[in-house]
Amino acid sequence: MTETLAWLVDIPSETGNETRIRDAIQARLGHLACTAVASSLVVGEPSSQSVLLVGHLDTVPLQGHVGARIDGDRLHGLGATDMKAGLAVMIHLLEDLGTDTAVGLFYAGEEGPLAGNQLVPVLDAVPALLGARAAVVMEPTDRAVEVGCQGVVNARVVFEGRAAHSARPWLGVNAVTRAGRFLARMDLLEPEAREVAGLEFKEVVSVTRAAGGVANNIIPAMFDLNVNYRFAPDRTTEDAVARLSVLCADADGFEVSDTSPAAYPQADHPVFVALAAAADASVAPKQGWTDVARLAERGMPAVNFGPGETGLAHKPGESVRISDLGWAYDSLASVLTG
């Protein structure tokens, strides 16, 4: 599988440019039933006994060296851990076991805006996928089985002022410094533990972007912030929006820009129980959002499980333990053949 992973890493597939890697995987697995949907690919014909193996084809933009490099038990390269290692495992499972018990769903657009994520269009184009037994999303999970996932709210928060010459600031109102108390309060927020189904999710609120001012000699009349809220899966999206609006009540403007639902943990599903046992893995909450949530919205039981370390995703110098590939493959093969 190491050669397969190096091959995948050597194919650039930043978000919006997944067609080349989709075509390469389709050519390799062409002896199996393949259905292309936009820049995505379904391999196999789903049935009620199938387990969906779900992996995104795209990576974040390049931040380090180009191409795959092996150093000891680690393979370095863009997307190595998130999530081309998972794709490599998927490819070998489909090649070795066929598609009677597993179906591969390779999709584009996961790392970009939600509107460009092709998972739902693929599910709409191949509705039989939703008749499968369960789904495994091949995100890196630090050798654990990660159940559920957090939801997300992003909101534009605005502080208003009045422009003036910076030599006479008393003639204006500085929108940036008006936000000072709010920003200080945001800085003091601690993660809030919230137990769901016996698992501890950490809710967090963060300011992730800020923009204000038009020139060095003008008192800024507006200060725009993006506030990002990761909420536990026992909250609805509506509850999360209401809570965030209260936290941002000091602002002059509050507008939700996008939301993604949470997914409630389903650790007791027979496929996931068997997977945790086969992997000798702990069951942990997913601290973050994944497409497990979008599958759950469609009534599909889904779990996060794959090679790689979450802490290395999206970082320069990304890498994956080569031994993780065999661990993930053997665990899934045991469940699929058992």
Catalytically active residues, by annotation: 58, 110
In this structure, the number of other CB atoms found within 10 A of the CB of residue 63 comes to 11
Q: What is the DSSP letter of 109?
A: -
Tokens linked to 260: 């993604």
How far from 121 is each of 23, 36, 107, 108, 142, CA to CA, in Å?
Answer: 18, 11, 10, 10, 29
Tokens linked to 155: 């909101």
Q: Rounded to an integer, what distance in angstroms lies between the CA atom of residue 200 and that of residue 235?
A: 14
In this structure, the number of other CB atoms found within 10 A of the CB of residue 20 comes to 13
Closest CA to 247 of 266, 234, 260, 228: 228
Structural contact between residues 304 and 141, judged by C-beta atoms closer than 8 angstroms: yes
Structural contact between residues 302 and 136, judged by C-beta atoms closer than 8 angstroms: yes
